[in-house]
Chains A and B, each alone.
Chain A
Amino acid sequence: MSAPSIVGARLGYEDSYTLERFLATDGDAGLRRALLELTPEQVHAEVLEANLLGRGGAGFEAGRKWSMLRKAPRRYLVVNGDESEPATFKDHLLVERDPHQLVEGATIAAYAIGASVAFIYLRGEFALGLERVQQAINDAYARGALGRNIFGSGFSLDIVLQPGAGAYICGEETALLESLEGKRGFPRIKPPYFPAVIGLYGAPTIVNNVETVSNLPWIVRHGGAAFRALGAGRSTGTRIFALSGSVRRPGAFEVEMTSVTFRELIYGDAYGQGLEPDRELRAFIPGGVSSPWLFPEHLDLPLGQDEVAKAGSMLGSGSIIVMDDGDCPVRAAWRIARFFARESCGQCTPCREGGTWIEQVLRRLELGYGREEDLDLLLDACDNISPGVTWPPAQTTICVLGPSIPPSVVAAIRRFRDVFLTHIKEERCPYD
């Protein structure tokens, strides 16, 4: 049986982004219920009951994050829409295809935490998303769903849409706040570990992901218990999984958590429809490129946060990248390392220097100029960025961008040492 569609309920409509479609499909119902029937504490209680895990990558419980909010007269809500983790495109879809739901969810979150100003920080490259979210904000003001005294409830809120300017690191919540303050997106030194204590302009701030807040209208409408009834264990509700790479039908699929395995998602007719003919699965990355790779023996794992963690990886942003036996794992590891090397903010030496050197050594190997001792050199460099190269990673850096480099490199070397050796012996990439 298919699960109810929650965040993706409107995505089946061609005009899912319009106000007309929004209002015709329960639009504003969650917001009205929250503001007119519930107190902020009751909204918070529903979210705690739902056990909504943050959908940005770290998977921390949204309700618990809200509970950490330091009481101060001025508090802020910041919606993190800076999605840039390679192979992650679910938020892109949500901002372009259902911007009204995002604004509604942000308003509910702001009400629950007592914020009077909220910022939606959207990746600057999402030009169409910026147009549609701004339109949704304008529409909300026009019908009294934003601004002063929303729906006569006494609650007032201003939402400001902030375009990013192209920096992956700004997805890290403290870097995002720095960027929102008009600076370089440098992650802040921890502690404090949560902006809920000290955030934007030094005030308590909640940073929630686009998909996370997009779940709120449904949760408020149907209750936290109904949300919790979906999924299993800590993984409740549904999630949008973004499938890409060497599958026949890449795409975004909303499924009930833990109800589907990787095998079904990659091979199922309703989802990825398998690999190209005569190709075999070599590896897949389960949660964006910072997560350690998984292999064919992991295909029967259900898509749940704890299940994937037990297998030594993470569900992260729910982005699954498939590699078949025609894809070169050395090239894949190199390209991932190059991404992190390019996107390092440069504050911490292990990340800035380590990432760059790992990228260069991998590139040399891939092109056929490698030496056998390069493999140990790479593992040693990885160990310097993330001591022990274990999972979850230890870190020598301010944020987790640096420790996101080793998982792919180490997975590729450990699993595909023979492919590396072939590159070295044949002095070329065998897949070219």
Chain B
Amino acid sequence: MGRFEGEFAARAEELVGLYPERRSAVLPLCHLAQEQDGWLTPEAIRHIAELVGQTPAEVQGAASFYDMLHLEPVGRYVVGICTNIACLLRDGDRLLEAAEELLGVGVGGTTPDGLITLEEVECVAHCDKAPAVQVNYRYFGPVTPTSFEELVGQLRRGELDGEVPPHGVLSRVRRAAPPPIPLDEIDAERARQDAERAERARQAESGS
């Protein structure tokens, strides 16, 4: 595991092709690696570096900057509880305490069965449903300690599997567009149109 294989390899190649510069594919490829393996393995970082023409250190440097990229294994579900201002004003911090108590792990910890990793997250833009919880970036709210316990039960029993995919799967909708338009071609087309417009403007001016 780590290197992109099968369908993932094809998607990695497609992602790189979307950008005028390969390096731009770093974050999408990191997400893709997490979708494949659940977390960002050192092997995946080396592979991504190869794909985008960077050093592994550069990819690791970028990856370590972002909260959603996990450089260590995480549970099947990453559960994030928001305690930022809007949620704090609606007892998000107490919800976090209750969650730690219930799961028996602190922030950053993973339950012994490998099912849930608990995180304290900054504002997740779900403030009208505060306090908000995200499970693999699917949103729930408002959540009370009681409804949180129910949520965990549902996750344990696999009842939310249709709604919440395993960690790393950000979007289940893939790009179905034709391959990107070759940029040089499109630049030339644009230059031609610009020239045409300028010419029309010039004619309109000399005509009036």
Partner of B125, one of A89, A180, A322, A327: A89
Name A's interface SS: mixed
Q: Are A343 and B125 in contact (CB under 8 A)?
A: no
Q: Are A130 and B171 in contact (CB under 8 A)?
A: yes
Q: Are A336 and B126 in contact (CB under 8 A)?
A: no
Among the listed stretches A164-172, A218-226, A294-302, which one makes contact with chain B, having 4 or more residues with CB under 8 Å of it? Answer: A164-172
Partner of B130, one of A134, A155, A244: A244
Complex-state Cα separation, A343 to B27, whole angstroms: 18
- Binary interface encoding of chain B residues 84-119 relative to chain A, with 1 for a CB under 8 A from any of its CBs, else 0: 111011100000000000000000000000000000
Chain A residues closer than 8 Å to B19, beta-carbon distance: 160
A-B contact count (CB 8 A): 205
Complex-state Cα separation, A116 to B181, whole angstroms: 9
Please tell me the number of chain B residues within 8 Å of chain A, measured between CB atoms. Answer: 64
Partner of B89, one of A251, A252, A332: A332
B52 at the interface (CB under 8 A from A): yes
Q: Are B68 and A165 in contact (CB under 8 A)?
A: yes
- Binary interface encoding of chain B residues 43-64 relative to chain A, with 1 for a CB under 8 A from any of its CBs, else 0: 0000000001010001001110
Q: Are B128 and A147 in contact (CB under 8 A)?
A: no
B202 at the interface (CB under 8 A from A): no
Q: Are B122 and A339 in contact (CB under 8 A)?
A: yes
A39 at the interface (CB under 8 A from B): yes
Within B8-32, the residues touching A (CB, 8 Å) are 18-21, 23-28, 30-31
Q: Are B62 and A184 in contact (CB under 8 A)?
A: yes
Separation in Å of the A148 CB from the closest CB of chain B? 6
Interface footprint category on A: 35 or more
Complex-state Cα separation, A138 to B27, whole angstroms: 21
A53 at the interface (CB under 8 A from B): no
Chain A residues closer than 8 Å to B126, beta-carbon distance: 89, 92
B156 at the interface (CB under 8 A from A): no
Partner of B189, one of A138, A156, A289, A343: A156
A residues whose Cβ falls under 8 Å from a Cβ of B: 39, 73-74, 83-89, 91-92, 114, 116-117, 123-128, 130-132, 134-135, 137-138, 141-142, 146-148, 154-156, 158, 160-168, 179-185, 201, 242-246, 250-252, 285, 289, 319, 321-323, 327, 331-332, 335-336, 339, 342-343, 345
**Given A117-B186, A321-B85, A323-B89, 17 more pairs with CB closer than 8 A:** A74-B187, A87-B85, A89-B128, A123-B125, A127-B137, A132-B173, A154-B189, A156-B189, A164-B27, A165-B69, A182-B52, A184-B62, A185-B65, A244-B86, A250-B86, A252-B128, A319-B127
